[in-house]
Structure 1
Amino acid sequence: MSKLAWRRTWFQVHKWIGLILAILIIPLSLTGSALVWDEALDHGLNPQRYQVSGGMLIDPDRYVAAARGALKPEDAIVSIALPAGDGPVIVTASSPGKSISGPPRTMVYLDPPTARVLDIASNRAGVLRVFHMIHGSLMLPGVGRAIVGWIGVAMMLSCFTGLWLWWPTIGTWVRGLRWRRHNNLDTNLHHLLGFWIALPLFVLSLTGTWIAFPQFFGMVTGGAPQRGGGMDRAAMARARPLAAPHLSIDAAIAGARAKLPGDLRQVTWPTDLKPEWKIALAGDPQPLVTVDDATGVAKAGRIMPEDTARLVRRIHDGTRMGLLWQVIIFIGGILPAVLAVTGVIMWWRARKWRGELKARRA
């Protein structure tokens, strides 16, 4: 196949990917861009949660008592998270009910020095929750995650074909960096922005596809979870916290600190699936101590090295990846929407031009 024939083929592939997926690419890319700064957004949208009076911590049992007073009688506490700096104490509780993603949960935000309730929120409500649902599954239960994954595959192909079409047909590749390759602003924007965002967008599309199809990529990299050995993540999400554990939270923390001293960061309640307390301490990686609820025996948890799946997720959402990469993926979320709009404009103008040409020939 000649170079011209390849160019025509890739042009058709690139065009129809953009036209068919434009309406889906725009919300996916914009919500992904916003979620890079999810903590800052939460501060702006819910300032009452962060209006703490200080950073001094008190007995965790007092936080639990304050949270119980704000929760419904049927709610069961799942965990308590203590801030490393300025910020609220967060008590998470599980409510009765079933769904694919597990039972609904309620977060109670508390003032660290006083245990005063700052806010109560559901994990199924709020703007950020909607953003996560759109970006992760297009708000389509069951099939949405797979659809997003295949959109990622199409976006990788679009990046490849876009670079092929960007490459100048005459002269060196430097000519492609010119601003005025066309008389129309939208076409110039599409060519230039498409080139600069192609590589970051390919990485984001690949990592997004990886997150959507973890079992496939796990087998490819040799890191697929072994069935039957270990607990299924969905089963863990559906596990119900024990309503009346044998140990109190103070006894569980005391047992953990006797095994491994350190500043407390999070306490997770025992469940009907795994009746043991999990005590997370300050550190990077975070040390973990498990305390058997029946016997009180504490064991130092094994600090697992970061696997490929966790690294892929951090690359995709920018967690602990530095400000530069966070800015790049923020822009990488906005520009696909711009490219989708400019691409549709270019297609519509070309369609109109071909129609006028056909009319003149007739």
Structure 2
Amino acid sequence: MSVKPPGSRWYNAVWRWHFYAALLCVPVVLWLATTGAIYTWKPQIEAWLDRPYDSLAVAPSVSADAQVSAALAAVPGARLHKYQMPDAPGHAARVIVSEGGDQTRVYVDPATARVLKTIGEEDQPMRIISRLHGTLLAGDPGSYLVELAACWAVVMILSGLYLWWPRGGARLGGVVYPRLGGGKRLFWRDLHAVSGIWVSLLALGLILTGLPWAKAWGGYFKEVRAITGTADGPVDWKIGAAPAGERTMLGDHAEHAGMGMRHMTARPGELDRVIATVIPLLIAPPVMIAPPAMATQAWTVTSDAADRPLRTQLTVDGTTGAVLTRRDFAQRHWVDRAVGYGIAAHEGALFGLPNQVLGTVTAVLLVMLAVSGVVMWWRRRPTGLLRAPIPLSRPRFGVVLIAAVSVLGVLMPLFGASLVAVLLLDRVVLRRSFAGRWLGLRTV
């Protein structure tokens, strides 16, 4: 009669859940790491794509009204939605016009009012990458799936740290760096463990800072803020996938107290007056100017800087050019500021090039972690079974892991619900079926 080592049952259970988490999230993690790495380099990619429109001859500009008129003529039936000021001399103005709920970006030469290019706002390459990353181009269902995968990735990371945490006087080899001279099995084991050790905190940071966008968690967060009285007006990040025709309306919601009011037809001369007021203020680009809503005189000027702590918003009287209100990032509620810092770091914009490099390295390590884990499982899997391979050592302190996962289940309700569902599936269905043996839940 064989006697199992102390703690082996618990350790095997953790190993199995690590394996479950990998099954659920590795394909999506590979997708998110790839699309996220691409999006991290958005400024450089967009600058390269827009180079024909940002290397124009420097000359005195025609009026902004003339630029807007040219853009409206290029999209019959449209009205001005936003005017994006040129970031530098020789750069085209971007005029965003709306027609039937859809927005079109029109590139206009500010010196001649010549239309250079038109493209739907949601057809821009980096907008597509953003939707691929956040919703898998599947709307809110895609957002739910991404959120589930992200939450289970947290379980995968925590359980992986528990399983692989160095103990028993372990040396740096296999923990801080992979050992290259011990054969293929040791190489893949070390590549997986070392990638996990290095990427754990960075990946957890990326996952947590991405949650405000998620449909379920973002809505949960919004309700909690409403209940606790910490809401501070409309947020400036998108939650889930907006319905068709409303994806680019977030700015309007922020501009007009969340009411989403329709912009008025711009009155002649007012846009130029607002621009003259804004230029000396040196607001972080890109600077978006939206015409008044309803019958008000106030134009809304918003910095759309990727580094969100640089953002500011003001309203300007179109008839006099006077600044009516101004609100900088530092004046927002501390919760909004915390989320803003997190989103900027998530997108690689908080501290410039080093942030982009760090985000890319994190994505590469996640890919290495996922690929090496699959290879290691494939090489060590029991013949004819899907289950995790037999572990070689048995750490303790499982209570800490249980507590961490339980807390995550409360803080992330969608994950908590999926965890309960998988637990029931594990206990009630899989253990009593052939799949239970295939997964290693029973031996006979």
Q: TM-score range by the shorter chain?
A: 0.7 to 0.9
Matched, 1:326 2:348: no
Cα separation, 1, equivalents of 2:172 and 2:157: 19
Alpha-carbon offset, residue 277 of structure 1:
0.9
Quick one: structure 1 residues 171 and 178, their matched pair in 2 at CA, closer, same or farther if it must change by over 3 Å?
farther
For 2:338, which of 275, 297, 308 is the aligned residue?
308
Pick closer, same or farther for the CA change 1:39–1:205 going to 2, 3 Å. Answer: same
Specify the SS of the correspondent of 1:242: coil
Say which is worse superposed, 28-37 or 114-123, in terms of deviation. 114-123
Q: Does 1:137 align with 2:135?
A: yes
Match of 2:146 in 1: 148
Deviation at residue 5 of structure 1 after TM alignment? 4.4
One-letter amino acid of the structure 2 residue matched with residue 78 of structure 1: H
- The Cα shift of 1:30 comes to 0.6
| 1:122 aligned residue | 120
Q: Secondary structure at the match of 1:124?
A: helix
- Is 1:22 the counterpart of 2:51? The answer is no
C-alpha deviations, 1:324-350, integer Å up to 9, x for none? 222111121233233222222222222
Write the distance in 2 (CA, Å) between the matches of 1:210 and 1:177.
32
Counterpart of 2:290?
Answer: 268
- Give the Cα separation in 1 of the matches to 2:129 and 2:233: 32
How many angstroms does 1:308 deviate by? 1.8
Residue 97 of structure 2 aligns to a residue whose secondary structure is: strand
RMSD, matched Cα = 3.8
Q: Tell me, yes or no, if structure 1 residue 163 matches structure 2 residue 161.
A: yes
SS at match of 1:179: coil
SS state of the match for residue 142, structure 1? Answer: helix
1:350 counterpart (356, 362, 380): 380
Distance 1:246 1:59, change over 3 A: closer
The CA distance in 1 between the partners of 2:28 and 2:39, in whole Å, is: 17
Answering whether residue 262 of structure 2 is matched by residue 240 of structure 1, we say: yes
Does the 8 A contact of 2:82 with 2:290 survive in 1?
yes
What residue ranges of structure 2 are gaps of 5+ in the alignment? 235-251, 390-444
Alpha-carbon contact 2:82-2:96 (below 8 Å) kept: yes
Distance 2:188 2:329 in 1: 49
Amino acid at match of 1:18: A
Confirm whether residue 205 of structure 1 aligns to residue 207 of structure 2: yes
Cα deviation digits, residues 169-222 of structure 1 (max 9, x gap): 532363523523763343332222222111101100111123322343463796
Contact 1:290–1:299 (Cα < 8 Å) also in 2: yes
For 2:43 and 2:358, locate their aligned partners in 1 and report how far apart those are by CA, in whole Å: 18
| Corresponding pairs, count | 345
**Higher relative contact order, chain-length normalized (CA < 8 Å, sep 6+):** 1
Worse-matched range after superposition: 324-333 or 281-290: 281-290
Q: Are the structure 2 counterparts of residues 179 and 285 from structure 1 closer, same or farther at C-alpha, using a change threshold of 3 Å?
A: closer
Whether 1:88 and 2:113 are equivalent positions in the alignment is no
The one-letter code of the counterpart of 2:281 is G
- 1:100 counterpart residue number: none
Cα deviations by residue, 1:258-310 (Å, 9 ceiling, x for unpaired)? xx953584421123497631245899855644245699875132334252221
- Paired letter, 1:177: V
> How do 1:212-227 and structure 2 match up within 5 A?
212=214, 213-217=217-221, 219=224, 224-225=230-231
Structure-2 residue corresponding to 1:99:
none
The residue type paired with residue 31 of structure 2 is P
- Give the counterpart of 1:68 among 55, 62, 72: 72
TM-score (norm 1): 0.79
**CA contact under 8 A between 1:214 and 1:309: conserved in structure 2?**
no
- Partner of 1:360 in structure 2? none
Is structure 2 residue 5 aligned with structure 1 residue 39? no
TM-score (norm 2): 0.66
- Residue type of the partner of 2:176? L
SS at match of 1:143: helix
Structure 1 pair 334/56, CA: closer, same or farther in 2 (3 Å)?
farther
Task: Please give the per-residue CA displacement for 1:73-101, whole angstroms capped at 9, x wherever unaligned.
Answer: 211111111233363321111121xxxxx
1:18-53 CA distance string (max 9 Å, x none): 122222222111101110011222233454333322
Change in CA separation of 1:287 and 1:347 when aligned onto 2, cut-off 3 Å:
closer
Q: Tell me, yes or no, if the aligned pair for 2:209 and 2:339 is still in contact at 8 Å.
A: no
**Aligned equivalents of 1:347 and 1:39: distance in 2?**
39
Q: Using the alignment, how far apart are the partners of 1:46 and 1:282 within structure 2? A: 17
CA distance in 1, matches of 2:11, 2:218: 34
Q: 1:274 to 1:179 in 2, by over 3 A?
A: farther
CA distance in 2, matches of 1:68, 1:13: 57
**1:78 and 2:120 matched:** no
Question: Distance between the aligned counterparts of 1:204 and 1:217, measured in 2?
Answer: 17
| Match of residue 277 from structure 1 | 299
Q: What SS does the aligned partner of 1:301 have?
A: strand
One-letter code aligned to 1:313: I
5+ residue gaps, structure 1, are 97-102, 358-362
Letter aligned with residue 82 of structure 1:
M
Return 336-345 or 236-245, whichever deviates more: 236-245
Q: Is the 8 A contact 1:95 1:105 kept in 2?
A: yes
Q: 242-251 or 274-283: which moved more?
A: 274-283
Distance 2:19 2:296 in 1: 52
